[in-house]
Structure 1
Amino acid sequence: MTDLYRLAMAVLQPGFEGTTAPDWLKKALSDGLGGAVLFARNVSPGTAGLVAELRAENPAVVVAIDEEGGVVTRLEAREGSSFPGNRALGVVDDVALTERVGRQIGRLLAETGITLNYAPSVDVNANPANPVIGIRSFGPTPELVARHSVAYVKGVQAAGVAACAKHFPGHGDTVADSHLELPTVHASLDQLRARDLPPFEAAIRAGVRSVMSAHLLIPALDPKGPATLSRTILTGLLREELGFDGMVVTDAIEMKAVAAMYPPGEIAVRALNAGVDAICAGLVTAEGLYEIRDAIVAAVRDGSLREERLAEAAGRVLALSEWHRAQRSEVEADDGAGLEAARRALTITGEARLTTAPLVVEVNTRHNQAIDPDTPTGLAAALGELLPGTTRVGRLPSELGDQPVVLVIHDAARHPWVRETVAEAVRRRPDVIVVETGIPAEPAGAAYIATNGISKVSAKAAAQWLTR
Structure 2
Amino acid sequence: MPIDPGLRRLALGTQLAAFAGKSAPEWALRLLTEGLAGHTLFGTNIAEPVQLTRLTDELRSARPDVLIAIDEEGGDVTRLAHRTGSPYPGNAALGAVDDPDLTRTVYAAIGADLAGAGVNLDLAPTVDVNTADDNPIIGTRSFGADPLLVARHAAAAVTGLQAAGVAACAKHFPGHGATTTDSHLELPTVDVPLSVLRERDLPPFAAAVAAGSLGIMTAHIRVPALTGAGPATFSRAALTDLLRVDYGFRGAVITDALEMKGAAVAAGGIGRAAVLALAAGADLLCIGARVDAALVEAVTAEIIAGVRDGRLTPDRLEEAVERNAAMAAWTRRPVPPAAHDPALGYAAARRAIRVEGTLADLTEPLVVQLESGHSIAEGRVPWGLRPHLNGTEQVTVVAADTSPESLAERAGPRPIVLVGRHTHRAEATRALIERLAAGHAVAVVEMGWPSAWRPAAARAFVTTYGASHANGRAAAEALGLTRDI
Q: If the TM-score is normalised by the length of the shorter chain, which range does it land in?
A: over 0.9
SS at 2:224 equivalent: coil
The CA distance in 2 between the partners of 1:415 and 1:86, in whole Å, is 24
Cross-structure match for 1:427: 438
Between Structure 1 and Structure 2, how many residues are aligned?
463
SS at 1:400 equivalent: helix
* Correspondence list, 1:292-371, <5 A: 292-352=299-359, 357-371=364-378
Residue 35 of structure 1 pairs with residue 38 of structure 2: yes
Preserved CA contact (<8 Å) 2:222 2:228: yes
1:284 to 291, 299, 303: 291
The CA distance in 2 between the partners of 1:308 and 1:401, in whole Å, is 69
2:196 to 172, 179, 191: 191
Deviates more, 1:349-358 or 1:206-215: 349-358
Residue 400 of structure 1 pairs with residue 403 of structure 2: no
Cross-structure match for 2:448: 438
SS at 1:459 equivalent: helix
Cross-structure match for 2:76: 71
The CA distance in 1 between the partners of 2:363 and 2:23, in whole Å, is 45
The CA distance in 1 between the partners of 2:231 and 2:320, in whole Å, is 20
Cross-structure match for 2:241: 236
Deviation at 1:129, TM superposition (A): 2.2
Cross-structure match for 2:428: 417
Q: Give the aligned residue type for 1:440.
A: P
Q: Give the aligned residue type for 1:31.
A: E
Q: Give the aligned residue type for 1:425.
A: L
SS at 1:361 equivalent: strand
Change over 3 Å in CA distance of 1:97–1:317 after alignment to 2 = same
Cross-structure match for 1:259: 264
Deviation at 1:361, TM superposition (A): 1.6
Q: Give the aligned residue type for 1:390.
A: E
Preserved CA contact (<8 Å) 1:40 1:74: yes
Question: RMSD between aligned alpha carbons?
Answer: 1.6
Preserved CA contact (<8 Å) 1:119 1:164: yes
The CA distance in 2 between the partners of 1:60 and 1:37, in whole Å, is 14
Q: Give the aligned residue type for 1:382.
A: H
Deviation at 1:326, TM superposition (A): 1.0
The CA distance in 1 between the partners of 2:211 and 2:336, in whole Å, is 18
Preserved CA contact (<8 Å) 2:367 2:392: no
Cross-structure match for 1:390: 393
The CA distance in 2 between the partners of 1:453 and 1:53, in whole Å, is 34
Deviation at 1:334, TM superposition (A): 2.4
The CA distance in 2 between the partners of 1:424 and 1:259, in whole Å, is 45
2:20 to 17, 31, 34: 17
SS at 1:368 equivalent: coil
SS at 1:245 equivalent: coil
Preserved CA contact (<8 Å) 2:364 2:392: yes
Q: Give the aligned residue type for 2:330.
A: W
The CA distance in 2 between the partners of 1:389 and 1:146, in whole Å, is 41
Preserved CA contact (<8 Å) 1:269 1:299: yes
Q: Give the aligned residue type for 1:44.
A: A
Q: Give the aligned residue type for 1:460.
A: R
Structure 1 stretches of 4+ moved >6 Å? none
The CA distance in 1 between the partners of 2:130 and 2:6, in whole Å, is 43
The CA distance in 2 between the partners of 1:3 and 1:425, in whole Å, is 68
Q: Give the aligned residue type for 2:33.
A: S
Cross-structure match for 1:450: 463
SS at 2:84 equivalent: coil
Preserved CA contact (<8 Å) 1:11 1:278: yes
Identity of aligned residues (%): 46
The CA distance in 2 between the partners of 1:194 and 1:166, in whole Å, is 17
The CA distance in 2 between the partners of 1:301 and 1:56, in whole Å, is 33
Deviation track 1:55-114 (CA, whole Å, cap 9, x = no partner) reads: 111111100000011000011011000100100000000111111101111011010111
Preserved CA contact (<8 Å) 1:110 1:161: yes
SS at 1:96 equivalent: helix
The CA distance in 2 between the partners of 1:159 and 1:353, in whole Å, is 43
Preserved CA contact (<8 Å) 1:217 1:227: yes
Deviation track 1:289-330 (CA, whole Å, cap 9, x = no partner) reads: 110011111111222211111111011111010000014132
Preserved CA contact (<8 Å) 2:369 2:394: no
The CA distance in 2 between the partners of 1:230 and 1:60, in whole Å, is 29
Q: Give the aligned residue type for 2:69.
A: A
Preserved CA contact (<8 Å) 1:349 1:443: no
Q: Give the aligned residue type for 1:103.
A: A
Deviation at 1:389, TM superposition (A): 4.8
Preserved CA contact (<8 Å) 2:133 2:450: no
Cross-structure match for 1:118: 123
Deviation at 1:354, TM superposition (A): 7.7
Deviation at 1:367, TM superposition (A): 1.9
Deviation at 1:189, TM superposition (A): 1.4
TM-score normalised per structure 2? 0.92
SS at 2:110 equivalent: helix
Deviates more, 1:408-417 or 1:311-320: 408-417
Q: Give the aligned residue type for 2:18.
A: G
Deviation at 1:415, TM superposition (A): 3.0
Deviation at 1:27, TM superposition (A): 1.5
Deviation at 1:432, TM superposition (A): 1.8
Preserved CA contact (<8 Å) 1:80 1:378: no
Deviation at 1:352, TM superposition (A): 2.3
Preserved CA contact (<8 Å) 2:371 2:396: no
Change over 3 Å in CA distance of 1:202–1:248 after alignment to 2 = same
Preserved CA contact (<8 Å) 1:51 1:114: yes
- Structure 2 residue runs without a partner (length 5+): none
Deviation at 1:23, TM superposition (A): 1.4
Deviation track 1:269-301 (CA, whole Å, cap 9, x = no partner) reads: 010000000110122221111100111111112
1:157 to 145, 162, 174: 162
